[in-house]
Chain A
Amino acid sequence: NAGVMQNPRHLVRRRGQEARLRCSPMKGHSHVYWYRQLPEEGLKFMVYLQKENIIDESGMPKERFSAEFPKEGPSILRIQQVVRGDSAAYFCASSQPSGGGYTFGSGTRLTVV
């Protein structure tokens, strides 16, 4: 019973490139959340998704960032035209519909050079 799977673990992109981060929730979990943690800062909510639906994207930057959770396959966080300030750890978490706390993936460390 695998936990939340994120890949890649580490991603290096040059400024202006696109970054795609993937997250497969735990089996039985239908809710997916993305959080960002900048160096020396706390976890900041980005987006909450269910299958084929964005439920809350109040934490997503207005431009360059998008997220999806298709009917089949993992959830994708996409960052277009990355800038140095996007360098951070991006954590995905999943939960059951009834709540009860999150299970986090190991995160993707994005470095923009």
Chain B
Amino acid sequence: RKEVEQDPGPFNVPEGATVAFNCTYSNSASQSFFWYRQDCRKEPKLLMSVYSSGNEDGRFTAQLNRASQYISLLIRDSKLSDSATYLCVVTANAGKSTFGDGTTLTVKP
């Protein structure tokens, strides 16, 4: 079983749609959680951190459920520019992070 699992997609949605990505992790000792975005196999860029209390940044909302070892990312009012691969990232201890294989999103006009 992979340490971090994501639905690879692809998710194809129209502009304005709401889309949710899920991620599960296997290491219960995991401490820090993030979502990154990768465009066309360029370098990944940090999208947002994920906290147990949930956090929101504009159209993006991230949630963490430690009991279920589950992380989610919700994108509201999708834009064409949201098309990318979204990477779930889990850090078990200070340092090394494990990346999921990513979920591909395509937003269509």
Contact = CB atoms under 8 A, between A and B. Distances in A.
Contacts of B32: 99, 101
Nearest to B44: A104
How many B residues are at the interface, by size bracket? 20 to 34
B30 interface: no
How many A residues are at the interface, by size bracket? 20 to 34
B1 interface: no
Contacts, number: 52
Contact of B87 (A42, A44, A48, A89): A42
Nearest to A91: B43
Contact of A104 (B34, B45, B96, B101): B45
Main secondary structure of the interface of A (DSSP, over half): strand
A70 B34 CA distance: 29
B49 interface: yes
Interface of B: 32, 34, 41-46, 49, 87, 89, 91, 94-102
